[in-house]
Structure 1
Amino acid sequence: MNTIKRYGFVAGSALLLAALPLTSQAAKQAASAAAAAPAAVDAGAVAALERMGAALRALKQFTLVSDATTEVVLDSGQKIELDSRVNYQVQPPRHLFVDMDSARTHRQLFYDGKTMTLYSPRLKYYASVDDVDATLSELAGKLWTEYGIDLPLADLFQWGSATPPHNVLTSAVHVGTASVDGAAVDQYAFRQPDVDWQLWIGQDDHLPRRIVIISQDDAALPAYTARLKWDVRAPINQASFTFTPPQGAARIGILVVDAVAMQPGEK
């Protein structure tokens, strides 16, 4: 699983606005940070990722809302922006519900530790896989490699796992301090092959509050931005993780990865 590489993040089209213009003060902070850190990978920035991973691993449960914008490049070279919202309910290490909604597609993913179900509320089709028996990190990889489904914000599960992928980084720098939705954060910029990405990490809880991902393997440099809102205290109903077919819903097979193809205009 390539960490951060798959910047779309909405199942089937994947579960990830260019970065906001830097103020003059932020630009000075970025330049100062770059000058003060001649090494390509700053140890402090990597340590911030490790603290974020530890904070994610410490969560007993959480709900998460991600409001995201994905840039899509047309054949003409023009960029358009597609908005989406993802709602997560999670109880690590093996319970997950994801609602992925946009103007074009609506998908829900249920996982109760054994059975994974992907459901389309608009089409009323669902596909289930039994005996998955995987942690959330393992599930994210399995969905991508076996079924071509990119779990929204899947990389959070990788950084929150016991073996975060530090070795992929070619550059890491602390840009400076900022505020996201009223919370004090530290902004970091990272690079790995073909991808630039930024994280705004809460100073108090070390949870990611904003993420920007730019694909470098496309000359148009399409970007993905997501703003993350966490709730680690709200109770979660256990029934949320188990799919119960609504009246009129029909079960279909799930395609293996080499057969997956999204049809134009699919809802």
Structure 2
Amino acid sequence: MRVDKSVIILALAGMALAVGTPALAQDSKPETSKSAPDEASDIDADAIEALNKMGTALRDLKQFSIASTTTREIVLETGEKIQFDGFVHWKVKQPDSLYVDVKSDRKNREYFYDGKDLTIYSPRLKFYTSIDSVNANLRDLILKASNDYGIELPLTDLFFWGTEYVSDDLIKSAMVVGPGTINDDKVEHYAFRQEGVDWQVWINQATNLPVKLVITTLDDPARPQYTARLNWDTSATFEHSVFKFVAPEGAHKINFVPDPQAIANAEGEGS
């Protein structure tokens, strides 16, 4: 699967490698024992426990919406950083229905999935395309969309925390930054480091749901960041019609053609 750090896919790239980690750690007991204290000092157990609680809270949600404001940094060849703001609105009904509206100054895309067909619609261009008979739950849909078609939806890691797809072994550093307040709610701030990326999460103390995420890419000297603020509605309910695409008047259907480069990246960067 392609790992796009700018859209907060934090852990999926290493999920296959994580299975072999314990065996590798046993290859040289003397060296492991010497380095263990230093490695352990970089991992705060309270920060890892907070992630586990967050994963449980996310898995317990059956129907919800998220309204997220985002800021993405793009680095020019001159090294200058340019910021683009955006908006992402998710409507989700487990186990197999979603609607996503992604807006920015550059584009607007809507994604409809009714448990069977995935449709992508461009309101500005009035074009839409469909991938028929996907027939998968949401996690399998997200993986299939990325691996088979090069389609990356924002914030999809929220569907994988607390599942077998995410391993704590990928985290090289974890720390508790401290308490804070976001939108008058009490939150706890945590910081983590993985291969090639630093990321921070602010978790609501009452709900254990993430309310802010900041991702810093380390393999670019300019260290561009992606920021998302998440506003949750866990009492939202939706009719099935919300997730089923109905072509507006004047809209035109086009054939879906996967991006070969996106698929090549997915095969080369993930498992």
**Aligned counterpart, 1:134:** 136
1:47-95 deviations in Å (ceiling 9; x for gaps): 1111111101111100100000000011111101100000110011211
CA RMSD between the two structures: 1.8
Asked if the contact 1:64–1:87 (Cα under 8 Å) also holds between the matched residues in 2, the reply is yes
Q: Which residue in the other structure is 1:265 paired with?
A: none
Q: Which moved more, 1:231-240 or 1:48-57?
A: 231-240
What is the distance in 1 between the residues matched to 2:168 and 2:139?
A: 16
Give the match for residue 29 of structure 1: none
Residue of structure 2 equivalent to 1:43: 45
The Cα shift of 1:139 comes to 1.7
What CA distance in whole angstroms lies between the structure 2 residues aligned with 1:2 and 1:144? Answer: 7
Separation of aligned partners in 1, 2:261 and 2:201: 34
In the alignment, structure 1 residue 97 sits paired with structure 2 residue 99: yes
Aligned to 1:23: none
1:6 corresponding residue in structure 2: 5
> Which amino acid letter does the alignment assign opposite residue 6 of structure 1?
K
Aligned with 1:192 (options 177, 194, 200): 194
TM-score in terms of structure 2 length? 0.81
Q: Distance in 2 between matches of 1:187 and 1:220?
A: 24
Alpha carbons 1:137, 1:161 under 8 Å: kept: no
Secondary structure class of the residue paired with 1:141: helix
State the distance in 2 between where 1:163 and 1:148 align: 19
Higher mean alpha-carbon deviation, 178-187 vs 250-259, is at 250-259
Code of the aligned partner of 1:173: M
1:223 and 1:158 map into 2 onto residues whose CA distance is 22
Distance in 2 (CA, whole Å) between partners of 1:227 and 1:248 is 34
- Show structure 2 runs of 5+ residues with no match: 9-38, 264-271
User: Partner of 1:32 in structure 2?
Assistant: none
Question: In structure 2, what residue type is equivalent to 1:67?
Answer: T
**Pair 1:56-2:58 in alignment:** yes
Corresponding residue for residue 28 of structure 1: none
Following superposition, the deviation at residue 6 of structure 1 comes to 2.3
Q: Alpha-carbon deviations, 1:182-218, whole Å to 9, x = none?
A: 1101100011100000000010100000000000011
Which segments of 5 or more consecutive residues in structure 1 lack a partner in the other structure?
A: 10-36, 262-267
Contact 2:5 2:215 in 1 (8 A): no
1:235, distance to aligned residue in structure 2 (A): 2.3
Q: Deviations over 1:220-247 (max 9, x none)?
A: 1000111100001122222110001111
Amino acid in the other structure paired with 1:141: L
How far, CA to CA, are the matches of 1:242 and 1:84 in structure 2? Answer: 24
Mapping 1:81-230, distance limit 5 Å: 81-230=83-232
Q: Distance in 2 between matches of 1:119 and 1:161?
A: 30
C-alpha separation between the residues in 2 aligned to 1:88 and 1:66?
Answer: 8
> Which residue pairs with 2:79 in the alignment?
77
Partner Cα separation in structure 2 for residue 189 and residue 51 of structure 1:
16
- Following superposition, the deviation at residue 254 of structure 1 comes to 1.8
Aligned AA (2:185): A
The equivalent of 2:268 in structure 1 is: none
| Rg larger for | 2
Q: Deviations over 1:116-171 (max 9, x none)?
A: 11110111111111121222222222222222221110111111535433221111
Q: TM-score, normalised by structure 1?
A: 0.82
Take 2:258 and 2:124, find their aligned partners in 1: how far apart are those partners? 22
One-letter code aligned to 2:73 = E
Residue type matched to 2:181 in 1? S
2: CA distance between counterparts of 1:137 and 1:40?
31
1:232 equivalent among 231, 234, 240: 234
Higher helix share: 2
- Seq. identity, %: 44
Stretches of 4+ aligned residues off by more than 6 angstroms: none
Count the aligned residue pairs: 233
Contact 1:145/1:257, CA 8 A, preserved across alignment? no
Cα separation, 2, equivalents of 1:112 and 1:138? 14
